[in-house]
Amino acid sequence: MTRALLFALLLLCLPASFVVAQVQKEEVPSDDPAIEARLAKLSKELRCLQCQNQTLADSPAGLAADLRTEIRAQMKAGKSDQEIVAFLTQRYGQFILYRPRVTPTTYLLWFGPFLLLLAGLAILFRYIKQRRDSITEQPLTAEDRRRAEELLASSGKETA
Amino acid sequence: MLKYLIPLGLFLVLVVFLAIGLSRDPAELPSALIDKPAPTFRLPQLKDPSKTFSAEDMRGKVWLLNVWASWCIACREEHPLWFEYAKSGAAPVYGLNYKDRHEDALAWLDEFGDPYLLSAVDLEGRVGMDYGVYGAPETYVIDKNGTIRMKHVGPVTPDVWSKHILPLVQELNRQGTNQ
């Protein structure tokens, strides 16, 4: 029963997916295994812009396929990884990099956590110091000394 | 007293940061191409593929380039508004038909009307890649020197038009070319 219902729902969804077809050039893997290996490595470092939480390697989005095709073509033309990354950041900005570069705008991102750590340590040390300062030595009075000796003497007898 | 004010202050700072973070659209990226020369292209025109259109043809004019496609749902939402924007005469409006089947694109313009002076056909999305397009609709404001001055991702709502695009276009129209 539920299966039939699901099937009916699925059928309802079908026409919509035919209507919104975009022109998509078929992605053809390179016949050079070296290029495919380089692409696999590089595309893990790059963000798919259409579905922003996926890498370019994983994404099924049309734009991701286009970009992979473009990267293959550039690798075939002898471009270095750095040149390809430069090509992409010129167009899509730093956002395409999963590992943002260290520039003045990303200083806070890179060094912020360490600043927070330092601030935390400073607060911790201040707290410890304050506590230590608040403890004052209290010399034993004659009465305290007599009681301590009495206790020691009695416990000495028990163990002996 | 201070002992309570400091954590409260820190908490309020956190709230402000989170509020700013939440009110921003994570899908909207700063364009890397702002204040950079608009990438050159020469593409066939949608309604007359024997003719071409190039960004170079627009030198000396402030113009708008709207990336659209028949498969793009948000473009449909935005489309009627472009008639008003074009009618305002603020700037010529050109279309970039992005990764669209030719017959689909023509049928779409037949059905909903054509607000564009013309649309250039970017069948494989190669020009879109040069412009950093990652989702239609996108709109570019290009100045008299052929420099991209603004990019808007998503439908140009009347609010975006009157608060951001129109004032910028008017300002750019006042400026001469500096060449």
pLDDT digits (tens, 9 = 90+) for B84-135: 999 999 999 999 999 999 999 999 999 999 999 999 999 999 999 999 998 8
* Closest CB to A21 among B71, B132, B134: B71
**Predicted pLDDT at A6:** 61
**Confidence class for position B138, pLDDT limits 50, 70, 90:** very high
Predicted confidence (pLDDT) at residue A11 exceeds the cutoff of 70: no
Measured in angstroms, the CA of B30 and the nearest CA of chain A are apart by: 7
Give ipTM to 2 decimals.
0.78
Mean pLDDT is lowest, of A119-123, B66-70, B82-86, B175-179, for B175-179
A149 vs A84: CA distance, rounded Å: 82
**Predicted pLDDT at A5:** 62
Q: What percentage of chain B carries pLDDT values higher than 70?
A: 96
Q: Which residues pair with B94 in a beta bridge?
A: B65
**Predicted pLDDT at B140:** 95
B16 vs A33: CA distance, rounded Å: 51
Q: Which residues contact B36 (CB under 8 A, 6 or more apart)?
A: B147, B148
Tell me whether B154 touches chain A (CB under 8 Å): no
Burial class (CB in 10 A: 0-12, 13-18, 19+), B145: middle
Predicted confidence (pLDDT) at residue A14 exceeds the cutoff of 60: no
**Predicted pLDDT at B144:** 93
Question: Mean of the pLDDT values across residues B135-162?
Answer: 92
Tell me whether B41 touches chain A (CB under 8 Å): no
Question: Mean of the pLDDT values across residues A92-102?
Answer: 86
pLDDT digits (tens, 9 = 90+) for A24-33: 888 888 888 9
pLDDT digits (tens, 9 = 90+) for A52-76: 788 998 888 888 999 999 999 999 9
Measured in angstroms, the CA of A157 and the nearest CA of chain B are apart by: 52
> CB–CB of B30 and A19 under 8 A?
no
More confident residue, B103 or B3: B103
**Predicted pLDDT at A17:** 46
pLDDT digits (tens, 9 = 90+) for A106-139: 888 899 999 999 999 999 999 999 998 888 878 8
Helices (H), chain B: 2-23, 73-87, 102-112, 126-130, 158-160, 166-174
Instruction: Report the b/e string of A17-46 with b at 16+ CB within 10 A.
Output: eeeeebbeeeeeebeeeebeebbeebbeeb
**Confidence class for position A49, pLDDT limits 50, 70, 90:** confident
Q: Which residues pair with B37 in a beta bridge?
A: B147
Q: What percentage of chain A carries pLDDT values higher than 90?
A: 38
Predicted confidence (pLDDT) at residue A22 exceeds the cutoff of 90: no
Question: Can you read off the two tokens belonging to residue B56?
Answer: 């170079």
A22 vs B117: CA distance, rounded Å: 23
**Predicted pLDDT at B31:** 76
Tell me whether A126 touches chain B (CB under 8 Å): no
Q: Which residues contact B132 (CB under 8 A, 6 or more apart)?
A: A91, A92, A93, B31, B32, B33, B151
Give me the amino acid identity at A120.
G
More confident residue, A16 or B54: B54
* Closest CB to A66 among B69, B71, B125: B125
Calculate helix-pair angle for A81-92, A62-76, nearest 10 degrees.
140
| Chain A residues inside the 8 Å CB shell of B125 | 23, 62-63, 66
> CB–CB of B125 and A50 under 8 A?
no
**Predicted pLDDT at A18:** 45
> CB–CB of B125 and A89 under 8 A?
no
- Alpha-carbon Rg for chain A in angstroms: 34
Q: Which residue has the tokens 């202050």?
A: B9
**Confidence class for position A15, pLDDT limits 50, 70, 90:** very low
**Predicted pLDDT at B111:** 93
| Chain B residues inside the 8 Å CB shell of A24 | 99
Tell me whether A155 touches chain B (CB under 8 Å): no
> CB–CB of B73 and A20 under 8 A?
yes
Measured in angstroms, the CA of A106 and the nearest CA of chain B are apart by: 14
Question: Mean of the pLDDT values across residues A78-107?
Answer: 89
| Chain A residues inside the 8 Å CB shell of B132 | 91-93
